[in-house]
Amino acid sequence: MRKEIALVTGAAGGIGEAVVRALGESGISVAAADKDGERLKSVAGKLAAEGLPVRAYAADVTTSAGAERLVAEVEDTLGPLDQLVNAAGILRLGKARDLKDEDWSATFAVNTTGVFFMSRAAVNRMVQRRSGAVVTVASNAAGTARAEMAAYAASKAAATMFTKCLGLEVAEYGIRCNVVAPGSTETPMLTSMWHDDHGRTATLQGSLDAYRVGIPLRKLARPSDVADAVAFLLSERASHITMHELTVDGGATLGV
């Protein structure tokens, strides 16, 4: 029986790395892609040394040519792609009216346009085989306003709706497209938002001044918590689930 093949973007750290590990541990052959070639090489090398079927592919998802080239290279070297995980993402903080042009364009280039380029490149090949699964890692901020996160929230909202619309269009080919929306997850992206030793406590308890509730479960998500949700939606256990948004935030958005 042929081993399934998955392509994961943003694989050099945080949630992306956790997804690569989770899929590799389930026996899936994983193409780990990231723009940071050196860090990616280190991550993929570590996982491969543990016996996981992981191979590194340095790539830039913000260009159409880069996305097409990446998918083609993965299929040429590993075989037909069964799964795509859009986990690449960046965060630029700032009040909406103070954001620089570059902050806005860079955020959308990775978080939204990258999802479009990668999904188009992968799904056009999946359509020919009439099977496949896509999961986009978005954010609970896509549906809940957050102060100083306008660019990030807007980019994730766009990526979320793009993924759902894509899922509607390709359902007839047996291709499922879903979204995982994490909340505060213990990654470098989250800790970069903390200004002092009280950052963790403030995240858990929330902030009345910022109109932000805390986390009812009173703990941060681990990258593996998000990765498990991604792996489930890619798997046959979710074979009748598409256009769904699975929120993994410990109740931070109160189930809305």
Residue 71 confidence (pLDDT): 98
- Could you tell me what percent of the chain has a pLDDT over 70? 98
The predicted-structure confidence for 142-161, as pLDDT tens digits, reads as follows: 999 999 999 999 999 999 99
| Model confidence band, residue 197 (pLDDT cutoffs 50, 70, 90) | low
d(CA 211, CA 166): 33
The predicted-structure confidence for 157-187, as pLDDT tens digits, reads as follows: 999 999 999 999 999 999 999 999 999 999 8
Residue 207 confidence (pLDDT): 87
209 domain residue, yes or no: no
Any bridge partners for residue 179, and if so which?
136, 245
202 domain residue, yes or no: no
256 domain residue, yes or no: no
Q: What is this structure's pTM?
A: 0.96
d(CA 90, CA 216): 26
Residue 126 clears pLDDT 70, i.e. is over it: yes
The predicted-structure confidence for 41-78, as pLDDT tens digits, reads as follows: 999 999 999 999 999 999 999 999 999 999 999 999 99
Give the residue among 165, 176, 19, 156 at the shortest CA–CA distance from 90.
156
Residue 27 confidence (pLDDT): 97
With contact defined as beta carbons under 8 Å apart, do 216 and 255 qualify? no
18's tokens: 């956790």
Question: What letter represents residue 208's amino acid?
Answer: L
- Could you tell me what percent of the chain has a pLDDT over 90? 89
254 domain residue, yes or no: no
177 domain residue, yes or no: yes
Give the residue among 41, 152, 24 at the shortest CA–CA distance from 85.
24
Q: Which domain holds residue 66?
A: 5-185+222-246
The mean predicted confidence, pLDDT, of the chain is 96
Residue 38 confidence (pLDDT): 97
DSSP secondary structure letters along the chain: -PPPEEEEESTTSHHHHHHHHHHHHTT-EEEEEES-HHHHHHHHHHHHHTT--EEEEE--TTSHHHHHHHHHHHHHHT-S--EEEE-------B-GGG--HHHHHHHHIIIIIHHHHHHHHHHHHHHHHT-EEEEEE--GGGSS--TTBHHHHHHHHHHHHHHHHHHHHHGGGTEEEEEEEE-SBSSHHHHTT--STTHHHHHHHEETTTTEE--TTSSPBPHHHHHHHHHHHHSGGGTT--S-EEEESTTTTTT-
122 domain residue, yes or no: yes
The predicted-structure confidence for 82-96, as pLDDT tens digits, reads as follows: 999 999 999 999 999
Residue 102 confidence (pLDDT): 98
Which residues are part of the catalytic machinery?
152
- Give the count of domains, the chain: 1
119 domain residue, yes or no: yes
The predicted-structure confidence for 228-255, as pLDDT tens digits, reads as follows: 999 999 999 999 999 999 999 999 999 9
96's tokens: 């909406």
173 domain residue, yes or no: yes
Q: What CATH number does residue 44 fall under? A: 3.40.50.720
Residue 191 confidence (pLDDT): 75
* CB under 8 A, 24+ apart: contacts of 154-158: 154/108, 155/107, 155/108, 155/110, 155/111, 155/112, 156/89, 156/111, 156/112, 156/181, 158/108, 158/111, 158/112
